[in-house]
Amino acid sequence: MNKEGIIIAVDGFSACGKSTLAKQLALALGYTYIDTGAMYRAVTYFFLREQLDWNDEKSVQEALTSIQIDFRREEDGSLHTYLNGEDVEKYIRTMEVSESVSPVATISAVRRFLVKQQQALGEKKSCILDGRDIGTIVFPKAGLKIFLTADPEERARRRLKELLEKGQSVSLAEVAKNLTERDHIDSTREDSPLRQAEDAVIIDNTVLSPEEQLAMIKTLAEMRGA
């Protein structure tokens, strides 16, 4: 067995449970989890809070020099996103951020900024990253690549449940519209579009329980040397 461990890339559409899977798998394998989606959300939140025009290339470049993102494990074991030393976990999960994160993620300067950080975080291996371009751009030589997908209606129901549990007042129609828009933007953007890596294992988890999915992917990871 490779004691150094491997890099595991989890890509896929919004609300397919990428983060949930990555967190569970990291815990099961004793790996480090790097939430790349939260990094894009943190940048988006910063832009919104500063009322920055992200179509202005110069403003974006200047803003990125003022952004530092890291992750800290809280007392309850959960991993929170910190932006310039501030815990922004609850703020980056709002619908306001969800509606803007895909357009922000199309900006090449933002992608270069965050990909460089993600690659640095993954240098020690034994880590799991989830996103939309992990297996194609960030770590094209990852030891295991997973591409998650699920029925659009099921994805919308999952995201609605998540938002309602956080006290946000949204409708299923609003969530479904947001996911459709994000899918289109993520899949058609010029820089690092969402796409399945040729060597990725495709998993449709529409009818899979989290336990079934975890067991399946944990076995795959261990077969690859995790």
pLDDT digits (tens, 9 = 90+) for 80-124: 999 999 999 999 999 999 999 999 999 999 999 999 999 988 888
Per-residue pLDDT at 1: 42
The answer as to whether 156 is a domain residue is yes
How far apart CA 101 and CA 162 sit, in angstroms, is 17
The answer as to whether 2 is a domain residue is no
Is the pLDDT assigned to residue 60 strictly greater than 90?
yes
**Listed residue (154, 189, 193, 215) closest to 11, CA to CA:** 193
The answer as to whether 187 is a domain residue is yes
Number of domains in the chain: 1
Per-residue pLDDT at 212: 96
Q: List pLDDT tens digits, range 15-43.
A: 999 999 999 999 999 898 998 999 999 99
Residue spans of beta strands (DSSP E) within the chain: 7-12, 32-35, 69-73, 79-83, 86-87, 127-131, 144-149, 201-204
The answer as to whether 1 is a domain residue is no
The answer as to whether 161 is a domain residue is yes
Domain extent at residue 167: 7-223
Rounded to the nearest angstrom, the gap between the alpha carbon of residue 190 and the centroid of all alpha carbons in its chain is 19
Per-residue pLDDT at 3: 64
Is the pLDDT assigned to residue 2 strictly greater than 80?
no
Q: List pLDDT tens digits, range 160-170.
A: 999 999 899 99
Average pLDDT, the chain: 93
The answer as to whether 198 is a domain residue is yes
pTM for the full predicted model: 0.84
Q: Which two tokens stand for residue 222?
A: 């261990």
The answer as to whether 94 is a domain residue is yes
How far apart CA 135 and CA 196 sit, in angstroms, is 8
CATH code, 42: 3.40.50.300
